[in-house]
Amino acid sequence: MNIKLSSIFATVLACSSAVAAVASPMFEARLSSVAIEGGAIKGLSADARAELEKHLALVAGGGFSPAKGKAELTIVLGQKAPDEGEPVAYTSYAKLVGDKLYLWGDDKLCPGTLFAVYGFLERILGVVWPMPGDANIVAPPAVSLRMPSDWSWRYRPPLRSGMMRGGGKIKGPVTDVHSELAPAPLRRTQAQIIQSIKDVNCWKLRQKMFSRESMPFGHAFIGWNDKYRDTHPEYLALQKNGERGTAKKGSRDAQFMKLCLSNEDVVDEIVAKYVRAGKPKFFNICPNDGYGFCRCEKCKALDCPQTQDEREMNLSQKVNLTDRYVNFWNRLAKKIVAIRPDVMLDTYAYSCYRDPPRRERVEYPDNMCFGMVPSQEDNNLAQIRAWKAKGMKHFKLRPNYLCYRGWIPRGYERFFLENFKMNWREGMIGTDYDGSPRGEITAFEYYAIARALQDPEVSFEQVEREFLSQYGKAAPTMKRYFDRVRERNEKALYAKQRYNSGDKEAVLDDSLLVGTVVGANPTAELEKDEAILQEAVKTPGLSAAELRRVRAMAVLPRHAILARDFQLSFDSEKTGTMAPDFAEKGLKLLDFRIKEVLPVITPINWGPTFRLYPFEVKYWRQPPIKKELRKLYPEMGHVG
C-alpha cells in the first residue's frame, strides 16, 4: 500500500523560490524501483549520494539498494536538468523531467548538490532533523514517493553570512573545555567528543547553513599586550593601577586588555597590519573581550558621559563608552578606506559599547559592519534603530543567547525566532550565534534558529509542527509541555525587558541569566511539567526512537528541581547564608545526574556546568561541598 506523507512533516524551505505545480497530474514511484546516477559528490563534510541513500533507507524502513535496470525513477546527482543553464553561484536546484529527478547546484562555492538532496528529502519525503545525530532523524515511513509531475525547486542561502557556532574541525586528539571540572563519570570519551563534532557539522549542513561571504569577527587584539607591553606600552590601555597593559603575559587579563584608542600610533599600527595582511576586503577590528578599558584622560575625553558612574568609569554599573570607540573606528576607517575603497571593517557593538553613541556618528557606513551583541533583556529593536540613526548601515546579529549552561528549561524558541525575523526585517546581512547545540535542554531553541536561517519568513507554527514530529503520537502531549514552559518563561523575560536598566541582570553572556529563569520556574510548576512528561512516556504506539526522545525530556524537570534547590540553598549575594543541608543537596544533584540524567540524554560536555558563572560554579566551590567532592571524586578539579 502506498503511503501519502502527511503535510505535518512538510518543510517550507529557506528563501526558496520553488514553484510547486498544481498537483495534477502526480508522478509516483516505488522506493524499491529508484535508481541513482552520479558519483560521490562531496559537500564539505557530507557526501550527497551517501546522505541520499541513508535517508531513503530510513524512509523505506530498512535497507535501500538503488534499482538496477529499468527504474520507475532515476535520481541524477550533480548534473543539471536538460535546457537548464549553469547554476547561479551558491544556488541549489531540483527538477523532475519525465522519470528523472535532477539534483544539482553550485558545487564550487558551496555544497550545492548536497543542499539539493536535503531539499528533496524535506519537500518530497518529509524528513526533519530536529537535533544533531542520525538517531534523531525523523523520516516518515513510505513505500513510494509522490510529487507533481513538473516539480521543481531552488534554494540560495538568504543571508550573506548566516551561521551559528558549534562543530568544527577535528585535528588530532580533541578534549572538552573544562572537562577536568566534572567528575569522571560525567566526562565524555574521545569517541563521543569526535562523534558529537561530526553530528553538529552534519546537522548544520542538513539545515543548509552556509556563509556566502566570510566576514571575520572575533576579539582582534588579544596578542597585543604580550607583543607590545615591553616595547610600546603606550599602545595599551591605562589601568586603574597606573600601568599600561598588564605584566601578566599569557593571562586572561592580557587577553582582555584594551587599546589606548586616543593614540594615533595605534591606528597607524593597525593600518600597517592591514597592509601586511594583503589589504583584504574584510578586516576584523573587534575590541577584546571583558574588562581593561583605557582610563587615560585623552580616551576619557572621547566619551560623552552623562552619569557619575560613567565619569568615574564604574564598570560595574551601566556605562556607555561607545563614543570613544566610534571615534576610533572613524579614524581607522578613514585611513583604510583610502587604501581600499570597498573594504568592510568588522567590529562589535557589545559590552560597554553596545548602546549607540551620543555624540559621534558612523562616518563610513558603507565600509563598516557591526556585529550587534544584545542581551535578551535589551530592547534589541530600539538598539538597531538608534544605531541606524547614528549612521549604521550594515549589521549582523551576534548574540550570546545560546551560551546557556543552566539546567532549567527556558522555552525561548519563539522569542529567538521572532527576534531573528525582526532583525531580518531591519536589514541584517548575517548572523553569528555563539554557543553550540547542547542536547535536549536547548534543542527547540536551536532548531527554531536553524529554520529561520534557511527561511526567515517561516512561521513558528510550522517550526513547532516539525520539531514535535520527533515524538510521534506523543506530540500533542509534548506540545502541552513546551507551551507551559514557553508561556511562563516568556512572561518573565518580557517583564524584565520593561525594567529600568539598573534593575536588569548583566546578561550579555546569557549563561548569566539566573534570576529571571529561576524565578519563572518554581518547583510547583516544574512538578506539573514532570507530570505531563510522564504522561507522554506512557503514550501507546511509540517507536523505540520516539520513546527514547520522550524519556530524555522527561528527566529534565526533576533535574531542574534538584539544581534549583541546590542553588537556592546558598545565597552569597544577599545574606551570605548557607542551608545546613547545602552539601547534601549538592551530592544528591550530582548523584541524580550520574544515575538518571546521563543514561538518557544526548552526551554533552558537562565541564561548563561546573565552570561558568554564576550558574553553578560559586556553589561547587564552597568548602562544605568541595570537601565531600574530594572524597568521592579526587580527579575532579575545583575552581577557586
* pLDDT tier at 40, thresholds 50, 70, 90: low
Residue 434 CA to residue 165 CA, distance in Å, equals 5
DSSP H helical segments within 307-379, as ranges?
308-311, 322-339
Q: What is the mean pLDDT of residues 138-150?
A: 96
Of 348, 414, 372, 402, the C-alpha closest to 164 is 402
Q: Please report the domains of the chain, with CATH numbers, ordered by start residue.
A: 7-156 (3.30.379.10), 218-397 (no CATH)
pLDDT of residue 500 exceeding 90, the answer is no
pLDDT tens per residue, range 440-493: 999 999 999 999 999 999 999 999 999 999 999 999 999 999 999 999 999 998
Name the strand (E) or helix (H) holding 36: strand 34-37
Residue 494, C-alpha cell as written in the block: 518580557
Tell me the one-letter amino acid at 519. G
More confident residue, 27 or 511: 27
Best CA proximity match to 77, nearest among 34, 14, 45, 127: 34
Per-residue confidence at 640, pLDDT binned at 50, 70, 90?
very low
pLDDT in the model for residue 5: 34
Residue-level pLDDT at 19: 39
Percent of the chain with pLDDT over 70: 90
pLDDT at residue 437 in the model: 93
Whose cell is 539546567? That residue is 407
Type and span of the H or E element at 248: none
- What is the share, in percent, of the chain residues with pLDDT greater than 90? 74
Per-residue confidence (pLDDT) for residue 22, from 0 to 100: 45
pLDDT in tens, 364-418: 999 999 999 988 778 899 999 999 999 999 999 999 888 888 899 999 999 999 9
One-letter amino acid at 459 equals S
pLDDT tier for residue 4 given thresholds of 50, 70 and 90 = very low
β 161-164/210-211 pair status: antiparallel
pTM of the model: 0.92
